[in-house]
């Protein structure tokens, strides 16, 4: 399993880096859009569909993606963020409120909203002059929260964070991941002293926003775990040997990216 994970990562990492940081805007949009289409195909399984129905669902998402360029991003980002607020309620209460969202149509609608808002968020970030810095910051916050949570939870984790949804996650891991993200935020601020001065109100807000994005990234992981548990599957697919599916790799990004993009939009508006 470890060998599979390493080989897959070595193949995927250069592709991801090239797609995110070297493609122009529309090439980047196509690249991210393709990832969302595959993720939609995976999501359809979580919603209880199989066979050609999954392809049709992915196709429907694909038809909507070009039109987002004609809609102000905030009109899609805000509904996407509101879903994650609702998702927190469902995750905390699982399985008590599963009947509210567990039928096929609600799950399909959630998938469209989640994938569409994440797509818009990434494209929006790519439009800024300092897009590479912003995207790197977003990725590092997500990865830092995940890695910090893993090692802290492994060493100190006893009290479970959401045992009904993801038994492996602990409160110690959550705090460890949050602390890691804050440290990353501090380091990234130091890398841009011209725009982020730590000893200031703006600096405090910057670090606070980094922490909030990290917290929301955990919610994305937990929510996908909830959907997988409800569907009775361990991974969203087996497309990435040793890693599961695309949704398993971008679950935290799906929740963190819309919030991050909205924060950037509010700061630069």
**Cα–Cα distance, 261 to 123 (Å, whole number):** 9
pLDDT of residue 136: 92
**Cα–Cα distance, 244 to 99 (Å, whole number):** 27
pLDDT of residue 197: 67
pLDDT digits (tens, 9 = 90+) for 73-89: 999 999 999 999 999 99
pLDDT of residue 180: 96
Element (H, E) at 170: strand 166-170
pLDDT of residue 198: 67
Q: The tokens 């700061």 sit on which residue? A: 267
Closest residue by Cα to residue 112 from 171, 173, 67? 67
Q: How far is CA 57 from CA 67, 118, 156, in A?
A: 17, 17, 42
Residue numbers in the chain where pLDDT is lower than 50: none
């Amino acid at each position: 399993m470890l060998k599979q994970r390493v080989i897959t990562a070595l193949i995927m990492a250069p592709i991801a880096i090239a797609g995110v940081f070297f493609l122009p805007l529309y090439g980047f949009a196509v690249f991210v859009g393709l990832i969302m289409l595959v993720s939609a195909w995976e999501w359809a399984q979580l919603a209880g569909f199989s066979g050609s129905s999954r392809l049709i669902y992915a196709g429907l998402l694909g038809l909507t993606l070009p039109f987002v360029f004609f809609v102000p991003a905030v009109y899609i980002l805000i509904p996407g963020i509101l879903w994650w607020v609702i998702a927190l309620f469902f995750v905390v209460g699982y399985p008590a409120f599963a009947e509210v969202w567990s039928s096929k149509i609600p799950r399909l609608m959630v998938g469209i909203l989640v994938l569409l808002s994440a797509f818009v968020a990434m494209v929006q970030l790519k439009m800024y002059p300092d897009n590479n810095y912003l995207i790197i910051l977003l990725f590092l916050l997500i990865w830092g929260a995940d890695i910090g949570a893993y090692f802290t939870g492994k060493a100190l984790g006893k009290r479970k964070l959401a045992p009904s949804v993801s038994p492996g996650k602990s409160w110690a891991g959550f705090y460890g991941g949050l602390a890691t993200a804050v440290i990353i935020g501090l380091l990234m601020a130091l890398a841009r002293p011209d725009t982020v001065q730590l000893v200031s109100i703006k600096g405090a807000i910057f670090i606070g926003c980094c922490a909030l994005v990290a917290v929301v990234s955990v919610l994305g992981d937990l929510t996908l775990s909830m959907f997988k548990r409800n569907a009775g599957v361990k991974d969203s697919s087996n497309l990435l040997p040793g890693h599961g599916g695309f949704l398993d790799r971008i679950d935290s990004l799906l929740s963190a990216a819309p919030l991050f993009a909205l924060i950037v939009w509010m700061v630069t508006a």
